[in-house]
Amino acid sequence: MWPYVVEWGWFKIGTYGVMMAIGFLTASWLLARDLKSRNLNPAIADSITLMCIVGGVLGAKLAYMLTEAQTFVWSDLFSGSGLTWHGGLILAAALNVGYFAWKKLPLRVMLDTVSPVLASGYAFGRLGCQISGDGDYGIPCTPDSLDRVFCMAYPNGIVPTHDIVHPTPVYEAVANFALFAILWKLRGRIKNPGVMFGLYLIGSGISRFLVEFIRQPESRPERFWGLRDAHLIALGQIVLGIVLGLWWGLVKSPSLPDYGVFPVAAESPVPAVTRQRRRKGK
């Protein structure tokens, strides 16, 4: 494990933070490319990424403090541990949808645009969990079983363990990189905007729901039927994804172009007076 990239006394740069930064930078670059291909302003990719950073980190921290922490202490808001993925997803989504409405951006198209990069960004974050060994481990592997091939210990992690456990961050990273590849390939192939976002919700929800069964419960409470908050949020994602995918797939918006690609706006002609002044060097 490699918890810190730089460690000089009190000054430390965590591997998890570096991987998150790589994920956000990669997402911003991919988002700008996709926006440009849809003839939308690629500069808004930076604003979207910024809101994902703020909403993702703050929402994940608040969700942990409100639903999983033993006590609510404001100073914990600035600690590097204690993050709950669905809190970040909800707050980041709310901020971005509000931004789309404020800027009068086409909601369905924008949701399709951010779908692949949501998957890739989450995958990079999970790689950060794996490399740093921050405690997001799976349950111990069964001795002499086939699944033991994929299992490992984290003796040098931020949260060390010598138990042979499932590397659940790796499972989620692989699943979300695969989801990214599928969604990125589907760009320009689905006629009705919004459907791709529904597919993202379904794929992301299924991945999280399944992996939660082999993650260590830690201090996360069970609500009912042995399901935790992460299970329930993941199920909500799947249901919402199915509803939105079917609705937006069957009901076409007359104001949105097919495949979410807008026509190139014609440039305004230069007035004749301006042309004459340019010829005279004025």
Stretch 2-8: mean pLDDT, rounded? 85
The residue type found at 109 is: V
Using pLDDT thresholds of 50, 70 and 90, give the confidence band for residue 280. Answer: very low
pLDDT at residue 50 tops 70: yes
Q: Rounded CA gap, 172 and 210, in Å?
A: 10
Asked whether residue 53 carries a pLDDT value surpassing 60, the answer given is yes
Virtual torsion, Cα 16, 44, 185, 247, nearest 10 deg: 110
Q: Residue 194 CB: number of other CB atoms within 10 A?
A: 25
Number of domains in the chain: 1
pLDDT of residue 278: 45
Q: What is the rounded distance in angstroms from the CA atom of residue 265 to the CA atom of residue 169? A: 44
pLDDT for 32 beyond 50: yes
- Nearest alpha carbon to residue 83 among 164, 16, 7, 173: 16
Q: How far is CA 6 from the centre of its chain?
A: 26
Residue range(s) defining the domain that contains residue 241 = 4-279
- What is the structure's pLDDT at 61? 78
Residue 282 has pLDDT above 50, yes or no: no
Whether 46 shows a pLDDT value over 80: the answer reads: yes
The residues, any chain, with a CB within 8 Å of residue 224's CB and separated by 6 or more, are none
| Backbone φ and ψ of 5, nearest 5° | -75, -40
CA dist 130 and 159 (Å) reads 11
| Count of all residues that appear for the chain in the document | 282
Q: Nearest Cα to 48, choosing from 18, 93, 108?
A: 93
Q: CB count, 10 Å around CB of 250?
A: 9
Given pLDDT bands bounded at 50, 70 and 90, which one contains residue 99? Answer: very high
Q: Please, are residues 172 and 85 in contact by the beta-carbon 8 Å criterion? A: no
CA-CA distance, 140 to 178, in Å (whole number)? 25
Share of the chain above pLDDT 70, in %: 87
- pTM, full prediction: 0.87
pLDDT-derived band of residue 117, with 50, 70 and 90 as boundaries? very high
- Residue where the block lists tokens 């509803």: 243
Is there a contact between 62 and 26 (Cβ–Cβ < 8 Å)?
no
